[in-house]
A and B are shown apart, each in its own frame.
Chain A
Amino acid sequence: MNEQSHRSVSRRSILRAAGASALAAPLAGSLLTACSTKSTPSAKPNTTVTVTSYGGSYNDQLTKTLLKPFEKKSGVRPSLLANTSLAGLKAQVQSGDVQWDLVELTAPEYLQAVDEGLLEKLDYGVINDKGLPSYAKADYGIKYLSFLFVMAWDQKHIPDEQAPKNWEQFLDQGRYKGKRSVYAQLSDSSILEAARLAAGVPFDKIYPLDVDAALKYLAQHPGRDGLIYHTANQEPIQQLTSGEVALSTSFNNRISAARKDGARLNFTATNSVVAGDYFVVPRGARNKEAAFRLLDFMSNDAAAGADFIQTTNLTLANTPALAKLPSSVADSLPTSPKLADSILVRDDAWWAKNLKATEQRFKLWQAGN
């Protein structure tokens, strides 16, 4: 324990010194990127960085496309956990025992965490912001990922030509018997927006979200009995492939990954909702410099970034990587201008303000009130 903390202190001071000297020089950002990811593989060979995300196929993809190449380049050993949560981050920061270094949060959770002072300010001296699109750069986190909240179906029960094209069809009990699985939480799921879209509300009139109207719609289409809930991102894949449901909400990358594994599932990007996740560094993280370097790598390394995007079908906030993609891939990404007219952009600010109250309201509705 003691030995470790000595080691980390000395590592920190070395990195701090490096940061200071780089800041003193002009062209600070690019110089430091060069020195942190190329010339000095690592100050100590056993530096680690603990990353948390949502698990399942996504964690495998993160490891293969971003974490392994980062380890190779920097010598920092990342370990990836599957149980990311704002609650876990908050508990660690408040107890002073911070185990996580880089934590994935949904956009409303990010804004809440900033509000509650749970995060380290990012050091854009270490993270080169050159690769970051303007929407992605923030003081306490990087909105590194954009994904689509989609309707997905089991092709064994619903052939593609009979599949729902919009949320009205998706929720129509007359059109599809049986249950639909929807995400029980709302912090990165947009089922309430979907209900409003189904009721015919246009994209630009969805926010401020009329929660009561959305729940009223769901109570009739498909009705409480027509819904079951999932609480993890990988769960709908199991529910769909096991035949428990034929329709589910999910995220585009999860369905793509399942398809690559041979599952007969499909989804449509039309009428989906684009949302984003942040990577943040908890206040008091033990390896925050390593976390910053990983963020720098993710936002700037073109080869690894392009591999991630092609593997996941998600937009990574990494301009050099996006520039490298063939147009066939680029056009299908959540942030593609080609999709812009047919998808809804989630309003993070509205959700940050209303998340807790709406979660409670939704939970109560699920329970039958």
Chain B
Amino acid sequence: MTSTVTPAAATASASAGAGAPRRRRRPRGTWLLLLAPVLAFDAVLFLTPLGKLVAASTHDHAYQRVLKDPLVSRSLLNTFEISALSTLATVVLGYLLAVVIWRRGPLARVILFALVLLPFWTGVLVKNFAWAVLLQDNGLVNTALQGLGVTDAPLALLHDRFAVVLGMVHYLLPYAVFPIFAALAAIDDRLELAARSLGAGEASIFRRIILPLTVPGVSAAGLLVFIISTGFFITPVVLGGPGDMMIANQIDFYARQLTDFAGASALALLLTVIVSVLVAIYQRILRAGGEYEAG
């Protein structure tokens, strides 16, 4: 029983740990030594290619060209819109799911977590193609709708923004459920008992205790989901139409079809910078959340 709750518990302790107030000082330099393997790994497999990318992006006025391209502004806008929509849907659904899991007994928790984790372990390509099969004109959904007499002709469900967001939410849900569940699990049960003893109803308890206490978890989940969303590539390809091109697809278009490697590098760096800023904000939220809990 305890072992099955571990993933969530681990997340909970991790997020709490990030905010643990003060640690004992260790001798200077130890942290550097501990980081050495990761740094070496990063230097070879991340920093070197990144350096090459930076170098490649400085050719042929790549930045000016890329930023002037209306297709690029369009895909940046798309990336922002699609990510925002997916994040909103994922966090709302994730919150509901997390609350349900949190409120259930141990056995139901195990089953519900398994249901969240199963798609988590399935490849994104498999999930996307499954949706494509379900949503196409002669797919399961349309056949069922027509069979039940709800619609006469197949609805256009595939190759549009709805399908892209659907496919992304399906992929992203676990990334929202775990941080939110961790925030819920960290709430002291006695707060609720105290509130109840003072005459608070369910709605009041949720609005005045549970919701405020889970805000850091929700923000963390939202930002994490948004960051992951910005890098989506295959979902717009499989489920989207030509108007749903995201920035990763734009990089692919520059590299593969225009064979403009300088332009593709510039775009990739643009994405890297945007995501880095978001990650920095994410770290702050995690820290702030920790302080909030500690206070």
Task: Check if A185 is an interface residue, CB within 8 A of chain B.
Answer: yes
Task: Check if A363 is an interface residue, CB within 8 A of chain B.
Answer: yes
Shortest distance in angstroms between B248's beta carbon and chain A's nearest beta carbon?
15
Tell me which residues across on chain A come within 8 A of B241, comparing CB atoms.
228
Task: Check if B186 is an interface residue, CB within 8 A of chain A.
Answer: no
Q: How many residues of B contact A (CB 8 A)?
A: 20
From B74, B138, B242, B260, A243 is in contact (CB under 8 Å) with B138
From A90, A228, A229, A368, B259 is in contact (CB under 8 Å) with A90
Q: CA of A94 to CA of B138 in the docked complex: distance in angstroms?
A: 45
Tell me which residues across on chain B come within 8 A of A356, comparing CB atoms.
258, 260
Q: CA of A85 to CA of B257 in the docked complex: distance in angstroms?
A: 9
A85 — nearest CB in chain B belongs to which residue?
B256
Asked if A112 contacts B245 (CB within 8 A), the reply is no
With A90-B259, A112-B259, A243-B138 as contacts: A366 and B74 at CB distance below 8 Å: no
Asked if B71 contacts A360 (CB within 8 A), the reply is yes
Task: Check if A87 is an interface residue, CB within 8 A of chain B.
Answer: yes
Interface membership of chain A positions 144-185, coded 1 if the CB is closer than 8 angstroms to chain B and 0 otherwise: 000000000000000000000000000000000000000011
Asked if A367 contacts B245 (CB within 8 A), the reply is yes
The range of chain A's interface size is 20 to 34
Task: Check if B159 is an interface residue, CB within 8 A of chain A.
Answer: yes
With A244-B136, A244-B138 as contacts: A367 and B243 at CB distance below 8 Å: yes
Task: Check if B253 is an interface residue, CB within 8 A of chain A.
Answer: yes
Q: CA of A366 to CA of B259 in the docked complex: distance in angstroms?
A: 20
Q: CA of A94 to CA of B59 in the docked complex: distance in angstroms?
A: 14
Shortest distance in angstroms between B277's beta carbon and chain A's nearest beta carbon?
26
Task: Check if A369 is an interface residue, CB within 8 A of chain B.
Answer: yes
A228 — nearest CB in chain B belongs to which residue?
B159
Task: Check if B69 is an interface residue, CB within 8 A of chain A.
Answer: yes
With A242-B138, A243-B138 as contacts: A363 and B259 at CB distance below 8 Å: no
With A244-B138, A366-B243, A367-B245 as contacts: A87 and B259 at CB distance below 8 Å: yes
Asked if A87 contacts B70 (CB within 8 A), the reply is no
Residue of A87, A91, A185, A368 ringed by the most chain B CB atoms within 10 A: A87
Task: Check if A364 is an interface residue, CB within 8 A of chain B.
Answer: yes
Q: CA of A172 to CA of B157 in the docked complex: distance in angstroms?
A: 23
Interface membership of chain A positions 228-258, coded 1 if the CB is closer than 8 angstroms to chain B and 0 otherwise: 1100000000000011100000000000000
Task: Check if A359 is an interface residue, CB within 8 A of chain B.
Answer: yes
Asked if B136 contacts A360 (CB within 8 A), the reply is no
Interface membership of chain A positions 100-117, coded 1 if the CB is closer than 8 angstroms to chain B and 0 otherwise: 000000000000100000
Shortest distance in angstroms between A254's beta carbon and chain B's nearest beta carbon?
21
Residues of A within 8 A of B (CB): 85-87, 90-91, 94, 112, 184-185, 187, 228-229, 242-244, 356, 359-360, 363-364, 366-369
22 contacts across the A-B interface (CB closer than 8 A): A86-B259, A87-B255, A87-B256, A87-B257, A87-B259, A90-B259, A90-B261, A184-B242, A187-B257, A228-B241, A229-B242, A243-B137, A356-B260, A359-B257, A360-B69, A363-B71, A363-B245, A364-B70, A367-B74, A367-B242, A368-B242, A369-B74
